[in-house]
Structure 1
């Protein structure tokens, strides 16, 4: 009884949990809300030391993780912090990747060795936190015999780290270093509202986005029988949103720059985007996730309702237009949502009213929904940064 109370008190003291929007979003004492981890569901705090060292354990897989925050000037670089932390754990480094992530030094190492007497394997990562030059170190592992079946959760855990406000709109640390951009652009020619728009994607955006989607779908599948399946589903879409925004940043800007001058207001712009997606080729993906990556859609590939709704949200959010997506397991459907003063059917979430946007029926405007799908209790809102 006493030990449980102490652990609960430590958790309350060390973590701020923003339950209004992100019940999973964990920030650290002494940092702004821009520094946090969007944890996979059912990671529990097992042990903590002070305000800067935490041991966590997944309840859905045999994966353990350490989060360590080193104060400014403790180490001269993220690479040094990572190396010494790995050394203290007596782990062997299999390979190391170092690069700039979010314009700060970051590195990742594949590691192997005995932890608590058991042969283990995983990844260790480190990044400078720009707001105060602290260094965050994350180590996540499982038994070596389980690595091939649990590595996707380990990778997702490392990608959960956000070190500044723009991290919510960029590929995560693991994805950025292990699946980097090529640096070579491919030109796309889009036709929206009878206007030709020339824009660019990185040549590896489709491939890298598809990796992220399939990895996160594997994570999602672990929660099929969990009482937190809805929260896991929301995180799945948030991780796709986070990964997609930076990839489509130039695309979103070029679309807005071309269309916005002739739009009456934000809703008029959003309508042009909605009408554009309604004309996409409908096609189910031949992948486990059945989700078309956004780079592949705008490159001419097929799409379904949830990928279209996500594309709308990415473009609108990138232009600071408040949007959301709604998904429903009962209706097997997804729709977009837009904050607007225009009349029409709305769903209300956290005090905001969102016009609904149907992406699969050509000709529909914002604020129209099938009357058989108008019960809000059967929809799950996916709040976006």
Structure 2
């Protein structure tokens, strides 16, 4: 194995450091995710850590390495959320003052939680890069120790303890699928796993909007940036310590689109009965994107974080119902006659549809003066049930027109 920033011995020492301070998370079989993907899937539930992500491991190792004088002065970190919460939580527990610089667009729940753990929170910049620049400036001005979220040997070794635990609990695993942001997590896991079982395959996953490692390793020039559900891995600059590890030990990097990240978040919630933020669900999204790559294999998914805003989770789940056509909207245009709305509602009830929303309009210019339009959103059992309802309404002479996510469809149904 090449000369990397960390070794298996560093990771074993990190495991001794975090023992009793960080939860040893369970590796849980996932039969319904296995059915969904065609692989034998187990999930490493790092979302069960007190702050909801794997970041506690590296944070504790780094904080425990500080001298008494450094502890007195305090630490500073830049983070989009999970690293911030981990540093704040354990810094308070260890009596170390903590300052966290977060991008201005950080999800509210992550900023609030970081403050609740006792840290001074500074919102600065649109990206982690801008936040990092401000954090280093404050560190120099106030004499604080900078705790990097991924490009630090102590942090990398701490994250690598996940690899030790996976191979202890499932030595027969064929593939470990790991989300990639700056690379600290996957590099630590790769060093640990490959030292224990050289045959295990490490597969990385990046959001398609942030293909930073893909560009660096394959010498590509894909555009980087944009709003992603996986903000925890939305990193533009790869970790320089992690890069050689990823280049040598990671067999492939899969890019996943936003729709698949949403689908994976929903699958964790509905099939695995657990919370996954966008970055945490990226591994499952990769399996959905390239099922043939994983089919028939014993696959471990690293669910690296579960800090997702409740409103975002609700939106994702409703959007998945719409994609599956279990929630659908349509418009009926007809002569305005007494009892029409009641008859339509009764008919939908007879057909087994649940009405979620109704808009009754007479003033639209595309509706005849004596006409009325009714926009209805319904919930059904599945796509086939939706089709049967539309056929029945058409047979009744109501001529429903689908309303998709963009506009009114030109087709009846």
Which bracket does the TM-score occupy, shorter chain normalised?
under 0.3
The structure with the larger Rg is: 2
Q: Higher relative CO (CA 8 A, sep ≥ 6), structure 1 or 2?
A: 2
> Structure 1 length as normaliser, TM-score?
0.26
The structure in which a higher percent of residues are strand is: 1
The structure in which a higher percent of residues are helix is: 2
